[in-house]
Amino acid sequence: MDASTFFQNCVTGISLGSAYALIAIGYTMVYGILRLINFAHGDIFMMAGYFTIFAIVDFHMPWYIAIIFVIIATVLLGVAIERAAYKPLRESPRMSIMISAIGVSFLLENSATYLFSGLPRAFPELGFLQKVYHIGDISAPIVTFITPVVTIVILIALIYLVNHTKTGMAMRAASKDFEAAKLMGIEINHIITITFVIGCSLAAISAILYFSPRPMVYPFSGLMPGLKCFVAAVIGGIGNIPGAVVGGFIIGIAETFLVASFPSLSGYSDAFTFVLLIIMLLFRPTGLLGEKIAEKV
């Protein structure tokens, strides 16, 4: 592998990893507060892709307004799902709410097939994002270079929010002990809503960044990225925000370099992600940055 190939692969891997990281944060935050693996998260990401298409292709919005529209629409969808499918089950065993999440995932996929047809739709160009940019031998759309920057900025903002604001304190309290936090007068429903708002807006941003260089959306678009980002969250230590970002980067970069180093295995990059998950669960089930917590039964 010569230098330019190596750097090109780095750019590709880091960019893919940052898009994964944004989705993984959504998984990890919801898990941190609710102890729920929100299996519908990948499908919310897919819906955000469709919202972008509607905004730009069907409603002819300028791209900067479209981005805001997509974030708002995705957040509304996510919060509505939380209210309708998760909130009524809050007192039920944890298994029920997880199965409800799987149900929501199927509901979203099949409604999308029914409403938007199973045919893939082209993802529109957003402003300058898809313009190809060259540095020496390396060439990629601008969005590829922007994605890691956006991810890092969002990560810093989130760490600040969690550690230095009142809402963040309430979030940490809720994730430590749900019941005690309630007794201390924390509006638990309010905190959960905020968590979903953040998770879904990140899914929306990620959808825009992910689909721009891979411009095709269909009802099962969210399936693979959703699963991979769940793996990313687990690898980083589920419940831990920087961990999710680290996990996302690891998967994105590892996947790219696997294909680059072993071209004959190029069809098996997905399988590799899940092998990584199995190894992680065998040797360090709490993830790279996760803390060891005794499970309360």
Partner 1 sequence: MKKISLLLVVVLLVAVFATGCGGTKEAATDKVIKIGVFEPLTGENGGGGKQEVDGMTYANTVKPTATINGEEYKIELVVSDNQSDKTVAVTAANYLIDQGVVAVLGSYGSGVSIAAGEVFAGAKIPAMAASATNPQVTNTNDWYYRVCFLDPFQGTVVANYAVQNGAKTAAVITQLGDDYSTGLGNFFMDAFKKLTNNEDSIVATQTFQQNQADFNAILQNVKAANPDVLFAPSSITTAPLIIKQARALGITCPIMGGDTWENVSIIENAGKDAEGIILSTFFDAGLADSSKVAKDFVDGFSKAYYTPVPAVSALGYDAYMVMIDAIERAGATDGPSIQAALNATNGFEGVTGSITFDKFGDAQKNMAVIKTVKDGQFVFVKAVTIK
Binding site residues, partner 1, CB under 8 A: 1-2, 5, 8-9, 12-13, 16, 84, 88, 113, 117-120, 122, 130, 132, 134, 137, 139-141, 213-216, 218, 220-221, 223-224, 255-260, 263-264, 266-267, 269-270
The CA distance from 165 to 167, in Å, is: 5
The CA distance from 209 to 203, in Å, is: 10
**Between residues 142 and 186, which has the closer beta carbon with respect to partner 1?**
142
- Measured from the CB of residue 103, what is the shortest distance to partner 1 in angstroms? 12
- Measured from the CB of residue 155, what is the shortest distance to partner 1 in angstroms? 22
**Between residues 140 and 173, which has the closer beta carbon with respect to partner 1?**
140
Residues facing residue 133 across a β-bridge: 140
- Measured from the CB of residue 176, what is the shortest distance to partner 1 in angstroms? 28
- Work out whether strand 121-122 and strand 216-217 pair parallel, antiparallel, or are unpaired: antiparallel
- Measured from the CB of residue 95, what is the shortest distance to partner 1 in angstroms? 19
- Measured from the CB of residue 84, what is the shortest distance to partner 1 in angstroms? 7
CA distances from 288 to 237, 246, 281, 285 (A): 6, 9, 11, 9
CA distances from 116 to 12, 76, 124, 171 (A): 30, 19, 16, 37
**Between residues 12 and 201, which has the closer beta carbon with respect to partner 1?**
12
Give yes or no for a contact between 30 and 195, defined as CB atoms under 8 angstroms apart.
yes
Residues 6+ apart with CB under 8 A from 116: 50, 219
- Work out whether strand 138-141 and strand 216-217 pair parallel, antiparallel, or are unpaired: unpaired
**Token pair listed for 224:** 């693979």
CA distances from 65 to 9, 52, 68, 79, 177 (A): 33, 10, 5, 21, 40
**Between residues 137 and 177, which has the closer beta carbon with respect to partner 1?**
137
**Between residues 160 and 262, which has the closer beta carbon with respect to partner 1?**
262
Block residue for tokens 């292709």 = 57
**Between residues 74 and 100, which has the closer beta carbon with respect to partner 1?**
100
Q: Left, alpha or beta for 178 (phi > 0: left; psi -120 to 50: alpha)?
A: alpha
- Measured from the CB of residue 257, what is the shortest distance to partner 1 in angstroms? 8
- Measured from the CB of residue 208, what is the shortest distance to partner 1 in angstroms? 14
- Measured from the CB of residue 16, what is the shortest distance to partner 1 in angstroms? 6
